[in-house]
């Protein structure tokens, strides 16, 4: 009985170690998920990883990378909306059409994520497009 | 005929002046709409006002204040999502429930807009709530 309990305990410990390794060894997850979240919440990055480990099962940890790719594009798009004032110009004042805003947001995200342009430079491209539209050039 | 044209021209000029005054005299619109947009787009605030004037009719200019109140709350909420990492934690990784994220976002926006707490301090309140939830305290 005791032996079975020990085997169970060892299994849990090994499983936890595996989960920690899966998450810690992934540079993309560190750079794109854990570090940004630790900065946003102003808590230690190790605590962020612990929270993910506590909340996610093993399969979800393996799938995290795929989710993170989606999240990176999605959350960056929302940041672009704020940084370029698209939230105001498109959604609330209707000075830019929704389709135009979608294209501009996509362009900035792609320039940064796919073409590795620094965020500020990608943003500047989006800014130019918006100003052109507003000036009706 | 010429006189009629002159009257028309004068009418247009007066109408434009009225629109400019409506927009320029409104401190709320200046602080909450035109100045933030001019900063986001890195163009002169006078050009932002001109763009609004060009795109909006007289009635819309009068209604702008009401739209701006909505926009202020809406766009601020989206900024809170980014600044607190709620976009990641809730929408993509599901570590925070949607209802919880909605309450936290609302709390931060209200603290800042209604209770005039500086944005960083309001954000700090939201941050504490998120950490409490993640730590399951």
Percentage of residues in chain B with pLDDT exceeding 70?
99
Task: State the Cα–Cα distance between residues B99 and B101, nearest whole angstrom.
Answer: 5
CB A112 within 8 A of CB A122: yes
Q: Which two tokens stand for residue A114?
A: 């796919």
pLDDT at residue A1 above 70?
Answer: no
Whether complex ipTM tops 0.95: no
Contacting residues for B52 by C-beta, under 8 A, at least 6 apart: A93, A95, B23, B34, B61, B64
Q: Give chain B positions within 8 Å (CB) of A93.
A: 33, 52, 64, 67, 71
Strand, coil or helix: what is B113?
helix
Of A52, A87, A131, the CB nearest to B78: A87
pLDDT at residue A64 above 90?
Answer: no
Q: Per-residue pLDDT tens for B41-94?
A: 999 998 999 898 888 877 787 788 888 888 888 899 999 999 999 999 998 888
Domains for chain A: give ranges and CATH numbers.
Answer: 1-56 (no CATH), 69-137 (1.10.3070.10)
Nearest CA in chain A to B83: A40
Q: Per-residue pLDDT tens for A4-33?
A: 777 777 877 777 777 777 787 888 899 889
DSSP calls for B6-51: HHHHHHHHHHHHHHHHHHHT-HHHIIIIIHHHHHHHTS-HHHHHHH
Percentage of residues in chain A with pLDDT exceeding 70?
98
């Amino acid at each position: 009985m005791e032996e079975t309990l020990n085997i169970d305990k060892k299994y849990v410990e090994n499983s936890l170690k595996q989960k920690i390794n899966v998450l810690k060894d992934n540079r993309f997850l560190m750079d794109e998920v854990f570090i940004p979240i630790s900065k946003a919440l102003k808590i230690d990055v190790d605590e962020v990883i612990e929270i993910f480990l506590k909340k996610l099962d093993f399969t979800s940890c393996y799938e995290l990378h795929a989710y993170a790719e989606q999240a990176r594009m999605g959350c960056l798009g929302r940041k672009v909306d704020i940084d370029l004032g698209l939230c105001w110009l498109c959604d609330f004042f209707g000075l830019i059409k929704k389709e135009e805003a979608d294209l501009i947001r996509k362009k900035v995200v792609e320039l940064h994520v796919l073409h590795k342009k620094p965020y500020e430079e990608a943003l500047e491209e989006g800014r130019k497009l918006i100003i052109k539209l507003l000036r009706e050039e």
